[in-house]
Amino acid sequence: MLYKKILVTLDGSEIGECVLPHLKAIAMGCNVPEVIILRVIEPLPAQTITALAQAGADLVTRMENDIQIQAEKYVTITVNKIKGDGINAIPVLLFGNASEEILKYTAENGIDLIMMSTHGRTGLTRFFMGSVANRVLNHSTVPVLIVPPLGCRK
């Protein structure tokens, strides 16, 4: 069996979900025993925290809780869809820097393949916003399958 554990990273966006048809083909075609659907919640930017703190004492906590609840719902719904296709999938929610958490989870959990989409940013946008996919690709010790936005057939 080529792949025993596939890690699929999602960011909650429609572009991020472009990886799902590719996952289905690989997971079913290779009889993959386990698929992990991972969503990493990154810390709120300092500017947002400052603005929310000025607006009200508990707004930061409420916003962080809302983000977590939405992320949990999202991964659960996604896992249920994948399970509907006969693929054994589990949801995982982590907190921190996305690329660091993806790489750490991969190393600690015996992942054989990472699958993710990229938003296809280039130039200054990529420079300022960074690229999680690029950092994972350059630092992963396991194969990484990256689906570009043009690879999305919805």
Question: Could you report the per-residue pLDDT of 90-108, keeping only the tens digit for each?
Answer: 999 999 999 999 999 999 9
Q: Which DSSP symbol is given to 44?
A: P
Cβ–Cβ under 8 Å, residues 76 and 83: no
Say how far apart CA 126 and CA 34 lie, in whole Å: 32
Mean residue pLDDT across the chain:
86
Amino acid of residue 100: E
Between 43 and 21, name the one with better pLDDT. Answer: 21
- Residue 53 pLDDT: 67
Averaged pLDDT, 71-88: 96
Q: How many domains does the chain have?
A: 1
Banded model confidence at residue 14, pLDDT cuts 50, 70, 90: confident
Work out the percent of the chain whose per-residue pLDDT is above 70.
82
Banded model confidence at residue 152, pLDDT cuts 50, 70, 90: low
Domain membership of residue 49 as a residue range: 5-151
- Residue 130 pLDDT: 55
Say how far apart CA 108 and CA 21 lie, in whole Å: 26
Say how far apart CA 43 and CA 54 lie, in whole Å: 18
For residue 21, pLDDT beyond 80: yes
Closest by CA to 146, choosing from 110, 119, 120, 116, is 116
For the stretch 29-65, pLDDT in tens is 999 999 999 999 988 777 766 666 676 667 777 878 8
Closest by CA to 37, choosing from 70, 1, 5, is 5
For residue 13, pLDDT beyond 60: yes
Which CATH number belongs to the domain containing residue 28 in this structure? Answer: 3.40.50.620
- Residue 58 pLDDT: 78
pTM: 0.86
For residue 138, pLDDT beyond 80: yes
